[in-house]
Amino acid sequence: MKHVMMNERNKMINETPTLRPLGPSAGTSLSKNKSTVAALALLLGAGLTVLASDSGNDNRAPDVPEEIAVEAGNKVHFHGFGVGVQIYTWNGSSWGAALPEAILFHAQGLVSIHFGGPTWQSNSGSTVVGALPPKKAVTVDPNAIPWLLLSAKSTEGPGIFANTTFIQRVNTTGGKAPSTDGAFVGQVARVPYTADYFFYRRSNN
């Protein structure tokens, strides 16, 4: 059942409108993002709540390869299930670096949008931006994008992303660049993916 739901969900994700990172007209962009997220949430339906619950409803650190383990002195403070697309653009010789466009769910429902930066923005307005390149990347499934460990470059606002120190992307499915060349320069490929995201803070926070 879970496999069937994910296949149907991936078809719908590939046809959804674009999330807009917040810029100078933040109010307008945030409103449009919320509308996009709401539409996507309705498309995905109740099945996504089941998937989010299956991914865990606690803040225990995940079992990960040693290369992407978070250093001592930090603890998980939030865990979200992400669903969306990795966006690739054909430059004439290869597919460029992926840009994420996703939403994060917890057992209680939609909690965050995720877009280029990489940036995560919660419903309440708190934001965290990850530092690039990632500290570490590990390919666990050759058919999926790598698991990552990112340092937090900056945070803004109170809420679930305040004081974040590290972000892990694990348990990935899909999201890899197309295996065939693009037909023309500028061609865009939106590849469905899912992942669990773990956000850490200092243990004394």
In tens, the pLDDT along 21-51 reads 433 333 334 444 544 544 454 444 434 444 4
For residue 189, list its beta bridge partners.
88
- Average confidence (pLDDT) over 152-176: 97
Could you tell me if 154 and 59 are in contact, meaning their C-beta atoms sit under 8 angstroms apart?
no
Tell me the CA distances in angstroms from 83 to 66, 73, 90, one per residue in order.
25, 29, 23
d(CA 42, CA 38): 6
Could you tell me if 126 and 136 are in contact, meaning their C-beta atoms sit under 8 angstroms apart?
no
Listed range (23-32, 121-130, 169-178) with the worst mean pLDDT: 23-32
Task: Output helix, strand, coil percentages for the chain, rounded to the nearest 5.
Answer: 20, 40, 40
CA 110 to chain centre: 13
In tens, the pLDDT along 93-120 reads 999 999 999 999 998 799 999 999 999 9
User: Side chain identity at 168, as an amino acid letter?
Assistant: Q
> What backbone torsions phi and psi does residue 64 show, to the nearest 5 degrees?
-135, 160
User: Side chain identity at 18, as an amino acid letter?
Assistant: T
Could you tell me if 181 and 187 are in contact, meaning their C-beta atoms sit under 8 angstroms apart?
no
